[in-house]
Amino acid sequence: MQRSKLELYEEILYALVNKRMTVDAIAYACNMDCVALRKRLEFLLQQGLVEEKTFRNVTCYILTRRGLAIFKTLALTKRLEKLQTTMKKIDEALQAIPSLSEYNTEKSKRQRRNKNY
């Protein structure tokens, strides 16, 4: 399944959360083509979410404070969506329980009637 742009940006930010990385390292971590990754990195650079630094003649990318804040917001949103889905499933299960209870009550009444005859 193809990932959306938002998912790609989120993966790039996730890869850069704890360390600086080269384009190749980010591409490997995100399972992306380097050409496509450079295009995404350019957008993140323009938005001020990622910073480009040169260390020992190697160009690395670092997450900015703004980038970290955006990443945390995206991660929180993802967790809340999962929680909402779980809450819906729990609610559906709780609604099904009274139905099962009524079914079992009727079944036990029938069994008692049958024993009495």
Q: Which of 52, 57, 66 is CA-nearest to residue 23? A: 52
Instruction: Tell me: pLDDT of 18 over 90.
Output: no
Global pTM value: 0.70
Report pLDDT digits (tens) over 62-104.
999 999 999 999 989 989 999 999 988 888 877 776 665 666 6
Is 37 buried (19+), middle (13-18) or exposed (0-12) by CB count in 10 A? Answer: buried
Question: Does 94 reside within a domain?
Answer: no
Structural domain count of the chain: 1
Q: Which contacts (CB < 8 Å, 24+ apart) does range 40-43 have?
A: 40/5, 40/8, 40/9, 40/12, 41/12, 43/9
pLDDT at 102: 63
**Residue 27 is part of which domain span?**
5-66
Question: Does 93 reside within a domain?
Answer: no
CATH of the domain at 52: 1.10.10.10
Confidence of residue 1 (pLDDT cuts 50, 70, 90): confident
Handedness of CA 98, 104, 109, 112 (dihedral sign): negative
Pairing label, strands 58-63, 50-55: antiparallel
Question: Does 30 reside within a domain?
Answer: yes
Q: Which two tokens stand for residue 92?
A: 């559906």
CA distance 85 to 101: 25
